[in-house]
Amino acid sequence: MVYIRQDKLPRLKEYKYSSVDRSLVSKYVLKPFYTNFVIHCFPRSMAPNLITLTGFSFVVANFLTMLWYTPTLDQDCPPWVYASWAIGLFLYQTFDAVDGTQARRTHQSGPLGELFDHGVDACNTTLEVLLFAAAMKFGQGWKTVLTLFASLLTFYVQTWDEYHTRTLTLGIISGPVEGILTLCIVYAITAEVGASFWSQSLLATLGVEKHGFIPDALYNLAWNEWYMVYGGIVLVFNTISSAMNVVAARHARGQRTRIALLGLAPFFTAWLLIPAYLALNLEILHAHLVPFAFYVGLINAYSVGQMITAHLTKSRFPYGNVLLLPLLFGVVDSLGPWLQQHVGLGWPSALGGGVYQVAFVFLCVGMAVGVYGSFVVDVITSICDYLDIWCLSIKHPYLETEQGQVEDKKGK
């Protein structure tokens, strides 16, 4: 399958990166740290995308330790495991931020870098949700599903915003900056106090006395539940802000705004099917949520990847997602027996339950890996061939001459 049409390739040369970062932490703390210290740790011969991929490897290592020590997301891990999660995530954030600086100082900036960066971030989002759920001891249940929904929506909306405004906008509080730092702090504290600490009442832990005007439900809210409340508030704020950015940008260009809002339909269509399938198959929810979450993450990564590709090639917004078809089949197949039991009218399930339903989930994971993998390989190959570059190494390194002019070994 061809993901970039030949007539769209020339638009890659019109690419210009545009971003706005309103984060005070980024401006006054992180960026000086990156530009004055971290960037000098990398040789100029190292490709920016290789830095991004190396940073992601730390998260993969964290995920593997999670699968070893707490595959059900509700077991205690040794303190060093949580500490390694904090270090690994901070290194990922650092490497992910420095790759842009490396691209500029080696004159390797281009559309492939943005595509590669977003693709890695999309995969990291799902892995970090599972790591956070393990640190909070959410287990395999609706709390983990809700956390996954919020994180994927944040990333999807941010990419949707960039497609329409043509600018990557990070607010005063954003996932790539404050969100990741918050997780690093949470993991570090967990290494000290243990994962069970987050299941305690926040107010009681802080020494707040139980007064009559404080509802029991509020007083008994655990730390991990307060975090979900905080995340929900930030999610609503960022979603509304992105929608306002998109409406304003399209209005300024004299374009219709309602059509842009339809771009949210693929995400919410998926999230009508996801909880429906889990509600109809509680065995998957409570015993096999990790592989199912991985499948859901790849659905989102594929949608986001299509959006970024359309943004780089100035193509039409991608509404379709073939990875939703197995999920739709799963919902329809499981709905029949439920209707037979509760309504009296329905149809028999082709999959049945038990091991066949589990096998279906892993089949969905395999299909998602294949489809998303083919998308990544095809898009990267198409861009590299057209721009005459390599993905993980510098094909035409630039050299500074004595006169300060920039030359490259290819003679351009």
Residues 96-108 have pLDDT tens digits of: 999 989 998 998 8
pLDDT over 80 (residue 398): no
Q: Please, what is the angle between helix 111-136 and helix 79-105, to 10°?
A: 170
Arithmetic mean of pLDDT over the chain? 91
How high is the pLDDT of residue 93?
95
Q: Does 118 qualify as catalytic in the annotation? A: yes
pLDDT over threshold 60, residue 253: yes
Q: What is the pLDDT of residue 405?
A: 46
Q: Which of 40, 107, 118, 396 is catalytic?
A: 118
* Rounded Cα distance, 404 and 412, in Å: 16
Confidence band, pLDDT 50/70/90 cuts, at residue 76: very high
**Residue 191: pLDDT band with limits 50, 70, 90:** very high
Q: Please report, as a single letter, which amino acid is at residue 307.
A: M
Mean pLDDT of all residues in 383-393: 94
Residue 171 pLDDT? 77
Please give the model's pTM, rounded to 2 decimal places: 0.93
In angstroms, the CA 93 to CA 104 distance is 18
Contact yes or no for 319/245 (Cβ under 8 A): no
Q: Are the C-beta atoms of residues 273 and 324 closer than 8 Å to each other?
A: yes
Given pLDDT bands bounded at 50, 70 and 90, which one contains residue 200? Answer: very high
What pLDDT, in 10s, does the model give residues 287-310? 999 999 999 999 999 999 999 999
Q: Out of 30-39, 124-133, 204-213, which region has the weakest mean confidence (pLDDT)? A: 204-213
Pick from 283, 271, 275: which is nearest to 357 by CA? 283
User: Tens digits of per-residue pLDDT, 149-177?
Assistant: 999 999 999 999 999 998 888 878 777 88
Query: Which pLDDT value is given to residue 276?
Result: 97
What pLDDT does residue 403 have? 42
**Range 88-113 average pLDDT:** 92
The closest alpha carbon to 160, from 246, 234, 240, 235, belongs to 246
Judge residue 9's burial from the number of C-beta atoms within 10 Å of its C-beta, 0-12 exposed, 13-18 middle, 19 or more buried: middle
Q: Which three-class secondary structure state does DSSP give residue 78?
A: coil
Tokens found for residue 355 = 């091991």
Stretch 86-100: mean pLDDT: 94
Q: Cα–Cα–Cα angle for 300, 304, 310, nearest 5°?
A: 150
Q: What is the mean pLDDT of residues 128-155?
A: 95
Distance of alpha carbon 332 from alpha carbon 37, whole angstroms = 55
Structure tokens at 11: 């638009």
- Alpha-carbon Rg of the chain, whole angstroms? 23
pLDDT in tens, 9-41: 999 988 888 888 888 888 889 999 999 999 999
Output 332-341 pairs: Cβ under 8 A, ≥24 positions apart.
334/277, 334/280, 334/281, 335/276, 335/280, 338/280
Q: Is 402 a residue whose pLDDT tops 50? A: no
Statement: residue 198 has pLDDT above 70: yes
Q: Which residues pair with 398 in a beta bridge?
A: 408
pLDDT for 231 beyond 90 = no
Q: What is the pLDDT of residue 54?
A: 96
Q: Locate tokens 């998260």: which residue?
A: 59
Q: What are the backbone dihedrals phi and psi of residue 3, each rounded to the nearest 5 degrees, phi first?
A: -100, -20
CA 387, CA 54: separation in Å to the nearest integer? Answer: 23
Q: Enter the tokens of residue 19.
A: 């971003």
Count of other CB atoms within 10 angstroms of residue 297: 25
Strand 406-408 relative to strand 398-400, pairing: antiparallel
Please tell me which residue, 97 or 258, carries the higher pLDDT value. Answer: 97
The pLDDT of residue 147? 95
pLDDT-derived band of residue 1, with 50, 70 and 90 as boundaries?
A: low
